[in-house]
Amino acid sequence: MSSGERSAVGRRELTYAVLLCLAGAGLALWAATRSWSVELTVRPAPLPPVRDTRSGAALLPWLPALALVTLAGGGAVLATRGRPRRVLGVLLGAFGLAVAAGGGYGLVADVDGSVSRQWPALCLLGGLLAAAGGLWTALRGGGWPAMGARYERPVRTAQEPASAPVDPAGPPAPMAGRRTTEAWNALDRGEDPTED
């Protein structure tokens, strides 16, 4: 497989892993804010019953926060590379499994009132998707390209010379030693940066 094909496969895998993390964490966050249980308290007539609705966030306050961290971590996969990306993948896998555990708890918990099992099930599914994206990143993410990698200076190999040959038509000697910002500042002051 050529380096171009490897790079294309790496970009595709990176895209899938990030989408898994983002979609899973977003689904879990949305499901955690829905009503997981409704309890009706009967009051004497003619007063209507009191409806007490509790979301997943009310039952498990840490659940939406962990889903938000997982969502942010899914985006951070794009900005990292190498070993830090793999470590991030392990963390995302653990966070996704914790979110899935919260959804699983909502499925089996004995909560008062009428219980809706669809939202905990979606939270469980979202956590598993995010965990899959994180674990995939931990296993394969070290070689994936980083964000903006195509704009970076290529890494010099051992066969390339340490310094490029000097162009005889290049800048005069006084200019060569100056930093670029100094040259621009001289131009702003109306001075010629090539004169000594």
- Asked if residue 30 lies in contact with residue 123, where contact means CB atoms within 8 angstroms, the answer is no
Of the listed ranges 23-37, 93-107, 179-193, the one predicted with least confidence: 179-193
Instruction: Give the 3-state secondary structure of residue 108.
Output: helix
- Which pLDDT belongs to residue 178? 47
Task: Look at 177 and 109; give whichever has higher pLDDT.
Answer: 109
- Interacting residues of 160 by C-beta distance below 8 A, sequence separation 6+: none
pLDDT at 89 over 90: yes
Instruction: Indicate if 26 and 101 belong to the same structural domain.
Output: yes
Both 110 and 194 in one domain: the answer is: no
- Continuous segment of H or E residues that includes residue 39: strand 35-41
Whether 105 and 8 share a structural domain: yes
- What is the number of domains present in the chain? 2
pLDDT at 142 over 50: yes
Question: How many residues are recorded in the chain?
Answer: 196
- Across residues 125-145, what is the average pLDDT? 91
Which domain does 30 fall in, by range? 3-145
Q: Give the number of C-alpha atoms closer than 13 A to the C-alpha of residue 149, restricted to the C-beta side.
A: 15
Percent of the chain at pLDDT exceeding 70 = 78
Same domain as 121, residue 86: yes
Rounded distance between C-alpha atoms, residue 131 and residue 97, angstroms? 6
- 30-59 pLDDT, tens digit each: 999 998 887 766 777 777 777 677 888 888
* % of the chain surpassing 90 pLDDT: 39
97 within a domain of the structure (yes/no): yes
Whole-prediction pTM: 0.68
CATH code (residue 58): 1.20.140
Contact call for residues 130 and 96 (beta carbons, < 8 A): yes
* 33, 121: one domain: yes
User: Mean pLDDT throughout 134-150?
Assistant: 81
The verdict on 177 and 139 lying in the same domain is: no
Residue 114 pLDDT: 73
Which pair of tokens denotes residue 71?
Answer: 């969502």
Read off the pLDDT of residues 116-133 as tens digits, 9 standing for 90 and up. 889 999 999 999 999 999
Is the domain of 102 the same as that of 176? no
Same domain, 180 and 141: no
Do 82 and 43 sit in the same domain of this protein? yes
Decide which of 6 and 77 is more confident.
77
- Determine contact, residues 113/37, Cβ cutoff 8 Å: yes
Lowest-pLDDT range of 11-25, 38-52, 69-83, 117-131: 38-52
Residues 147-188 pLDDT 10s: 665 555 555 566 655 555 555 555 554 544 446 778 778 778
Is the distance from CB of 58 to CB of 160 less than 8 angstroms?
Answer: no
Residues of the chain by 3-state class (helix, strand, coil), percent to 5 = 60, 10, 30
| Rounded Cα distance, 134 and 188, in Å | 50
Question: Is 181 among the domain residues?
Answer: yes
Of 54 and 194, more confident: 54
